Chains A and B, each alone.
Chain A
């Protein structure tokens, strides 16, 4: 493990934890602008977290230890996921221990714990949310894996940093397969992060909500951890997208400390663009009925598989 690697690793974890709420705030701000509302500050999610950390926790009477552990587990897996995604530098020591498949596994672990916690209190909403979350998950997860597989087949490795490096060091070429998977990935990102058109983060209307339904019983510090984890998840997904599709500007081992320094503004720029794009997609699309969500995700899955077949056919 080189010093640069260790520094990159630590920097990535800390930055992800600190910057994730800001990214969420930025998306919300863009959305408000596009919808002609007066926009909340980028820092709004931080205010929200601060507020929650200053509130009492009210636990449901029959909440089990699982319910209390879950927020930390979900948060912990999200941080661990952030540690293996090459958002700033590719020389991550920890990415040895977990490749892209393990990353998908980590995200699935978080999802399972979130759903189990939602079922723990035994309210109608909790179980409903858990069921819908798992429904979204079982289609989104294989789609994400397929997206990853295309990139992995192009670079001949499932290690995310190596995929990112492979794409940056090769001559710029058009990969038709990547075009398919990029669309699929965007759809997965929307679904997995409870964005429109699959879920609406701003609503508490029972017929439509998924993610919020699962968090209904949480309060105080537990809710804060869950919210923080959710923003980390969005941040992570964005960074996975950068690593798979636009890895240029990420620091490498060869690039040295300067590369890492340069990577920070590049990442900020990418995040700003991605956030604005996300807000645009969300504003332009309408919320789907829950029953239509599987079709949306099945499309993503098929697009990703198509991407795979295109890659094999064209051999790019």
Chain B
């Protein structure tokens, strides 16, 4: 068999599977499963990322694997789009695997060997999702991904909340999977061939194409956590061990984005611009909804889960924008929006992984997930704190880190949309830009809260004094991901030139012009706008260093330490700092209609005053509870047919038979 990148990538996925199985040799040995196999998995991840990056510019490769059912072999195909997401999978999972090497401890839920199996099967199935070229292989991989991640989420299955979180995840994942399956069913267009090639060749009427897109958007949106299908995210992410949360949030959600892109631009091929508006609207809503809820959370992992919803919202905004531009035939802008989307996928994989792993390290060091009991950890855990700070600044969309680049590209795409033929779309798009700008600014708020409450200030509990920094391997994992954030931030032209290949292939466009220099990003679609993070960063660093040196050179006074100024009060203690609730208060106040709040306020005469506020998701009571009631009602109705008497069931069969016969004859 000759070498092809496709085969090499498949070999890496196979290696992941083998590593997983190897974990079962000595399932109880943390030393073997945790400390030996995970680094091997990380190496496979790096190899996969390198292969994927090299292969982006190479022609499409395809193959048929002799596995699967008789007559239904697995078709696989690797193109630029798959390569980009494989690179994301490999690059982010490498850092997470390195971190996991030092992370998993004895006595935490499932056996280490089992964990190793589930983890690597999860990785391999995500890879297969990206490479699958027929609906059958895709759905098998998709379901394997859902199931393996379900088992990972419920690692600590003895805790009832975790079991119910896992169940909710599984439920929504499967509702989504059904929609995806139906979407494939529509897209085969009467040929009854379920290979993707057949779907590409099928000609759907606009109505059926819309149905297929709607189903795909619903199905993939459920996996991605698009509002209103987001409810599983804030439950499942806190339940899972931190590396698993990182993997799910950083990588798994992106497979859903991949799915939407694959279906709309490749399988359907000619998306209509009005679909884009739907995706755009849902994306903006998710971004806004996610970020305001993130701001009021008190559990650090739940906060990050809501922030993932926000980022997925931004990504779907980009997808929507791409579809709109592509639909009205504005190629260059469509490419710009698509590249912003893909860039944000890459960014989010790295920065959200840093943050989730940072919370994992904090969780291990302190045993606390509640923001109200953390604080001051920058002194005890400097490595974790400073590396997390990189992720925090990146996700807050601050230059020169990576989050800013994708934000910049997306805003440019919005800004130069002015020539869309549909006037009302023209009017709507700038409002979209306003929402994106608002969400990014709010993300800054959320991240200041996240970092400030965990790492800065005084420790809110006495036990935090014993917190220890993460081990060297965990630091290495975090460092890898943080460097990813910096690299993606400082070298946008190189990254975009790779992403441009996807845009060319997917949107069938000529190559775009993205930079005038290797350091200067200047998309031709955005007239005269340029961004050179390296120069900007360089100048800022030079000024900072010069200012610090200059001040030190002329400054003749001493620096000494004293107690913090207590403003004349006698006792200043850690409880006087803002709590997480306190920091979220302005958001609760300003966006009150969006939250479902229950407040318990003490009266001035209370002997034991208690203040309690809980913030709930309005969609849960408005949408999910009625839905649950309806489902139960329908189930009860069906139950009337099921009376448990065999005579009745025979009667049903008889009636059915007669009816069918009557129909046929």
List the interface of chain A (C-beta within 8 A of B). Answer: 53-64, 66, 72-73, 75-77, 79-80, 83, 94, 96-99, 101-102, 105-106, 108-109, 111-112, 115-116, 119-128, 130-132, 134-135, 137-139, 141-142, 145-146, 149, 152-153, 156-159, 162, 206, 216-217, 220-221, 224-225, 291, 294, 298, 301, 304-305, 308-309, 312-313
Query: Does B416 sit at the interface, judged by CB under 8 A?
Result: yes
- Known contacts A54-B557, A131-B582, A220-B559; A109/B393 CB under 8 A: yes
Query: Does B528 sit at the interface, judged by CB under 8 A?
Result: yes
Give the number of residue pairs across the A-B interface with Cβ within 8 Å. Answer: 269
Top 9 nearest A-B pairs by Cβ distance? A122-B457, A76-B544, A97-B532, A127-B578, A122-B458, A119-B452, A142-B437, A97-B535, A157-B528
B548 contacts across to A, CB distance below 8 A:
72
- Known contacts A98-B399, A131-B578, A142-B434; A225/B547 CB under 8 A: yes
With CB as the reference atom, state the residue of chain B lying closest to A129. Answer: B578
B434 touches A146 (CB 8 A): yes
B531 touches A98 (CB 8 A): yes
With CB as the reference atom, state the residue of chain B lying closest to A58. Answer: B562
B298 to chain A, nearest CB (A): 15
- Known contacts A55-B557, A115-B452, A221-B551; A131/B564 CB under 8 A: no
B interface majority secondary structure? helix
Extra 17 A-B pairs, beta carbons < 8 Å, given A64-B456, A217-B564 = A56-B557, A56-B559, A60-B564, A61-B564, A72-B548, A76-B541, A76-B544, A102-B531, A105-B398, A119-B457, A120-B457, A142-B437, A145-B434, A146-B433, A158-B526, A216-B567, A225-B547
Give Cα A198 to B629, complex, Å.
Answer: 48
A312 touches B411 (CB 8 A): no
A127 touches B583 (CB 8 A): yes
- Known contacts A76-B541, A153-B418, A294-B586; A108/B398 CB under 8 A: yes
List the interface of chain B (C-beta within 8 A of A). Answer: 375-376, 378-379, 389, 393, 396-399, 404, 407-408, 411-412, 415-416, 418, 426-427, 430-431, 433-434, 437-438, 440-442, 444-445, 447-449, 451-453, 456-458, 520, 526-536, 539-541, 543-544, 547-548, 551, 554-567, 572, 574, 576-578, 582-583, 585-587, 589-590
A125 contacts across to B, CB distance below 8 A:
567
A248 to chain B, nearest CB (A): 21
* CB < 8 Å neighbour of A149 from B433, B563, B578: B433
Could you name 11 residue pairs across A and B whose Cβ atoms are closer than 8 Å?
A76-B547, A80-B536, A98-B536, A111-B444, A120-B456, A122-B574, A134-B449, A141-B440, A159-B528, A225-B551, A312-B430
With CB as the reference atom, state the residue of chain A lying closest to B439. Answer: A142
B559 contacts across to A, CB distance below 8 A:
56-57, 59, 220
- Known contacts A112-B393, A312-B427; A64/B379 CB under 8 A: yes
Give Cα A66 to B560, complex, Å.
Answer: 16
Give Cα A98 to B540, complex, Å.
Answer: 12
A180 to chain B, nearest CB (A): 13
A309 contacts across to B, CB distance below 8 A:
427, 430-431
A305 contacts across to B, CB distance below 8 A:
430-431, 434
A56 contacts across to B, CB distance below 8 A:
557-560
A6 to chain B, nearest CB (A): 13
A130 touches B448 (CB 8 A): yes
- Known contacts A122-B457, A122-B458, A294-B590; A60/B562 CB under 8 A: yes
A interface majority secondary structure? helix
Give Cα A77 to B393, complex, Å.
Answer: 14
B585 contacts across to A, CB distance below 8 A:
131
- Known contacts A75-B544, A127-B452; A158/B529 CB under 8 A: yes
B546 to chain A, nearest CB (A): 9
A132 contacts across to B, CB distance below 8 A:
586
With CB as the reference atom, state the residue of chain A lying closest to B516. Answer: A96
- Known contacts A56-B560, A64-B379, A308-B434; A80/B567 CB under 8 A: no
- Known contacts A122-B456, A145-B437, A146-B434; A216/B527 CB under 8 A: no
A64 contacts across to B, CB distance below 8 A:
378-379, 456
B441 touches A137 (CB 8 A): yes
A96 touches B434 (CB 8 A): no
Q: Residue among A55, A58, A60, A138 with the most chain B CB within 10 A?
A: A138
Give Cα A38 to B434, complex, Å.
Answer: 44
Give Cα A156 to B458, complex, Å.
Answer: 49
A97 contacts across to B, CB distance below 8 A:
520, 530-536, 539
With CB as the reference atom, state the residue of chain B lying closest to A134. Answer: B445
B451 touches A105 (CB 8 A): no
A62 touches B376 (CB 8 A): yes
* CB < 8 Å neighbour of B576 from A115, A123, A152: A123
Give Cα A141 to B404, complex, Å.
Answer: 14
Give Cα A212 to B589, complex, Å.
Answer: 23
A60 touches B532 (CB 8 A): no
B582 touches A94 (CB 8 A): no
A67 to chain B, nearest CB (A): 9
B396 touches A112 (CB 8 A): yes
B575 to chain A, nearest CB (A): 9
B442 contacts across to A, CB distance below 8 A:
138
- Known contacts A96-B520, A112-B444; A121/B564 CB under 8 A: yes
A101 touches B408 (CB 8 A): yes
A244 to chain B, nearest CB (A): 15
With CB as the reference atom, state the residue of chain B lying closest to A308. Answer: B430
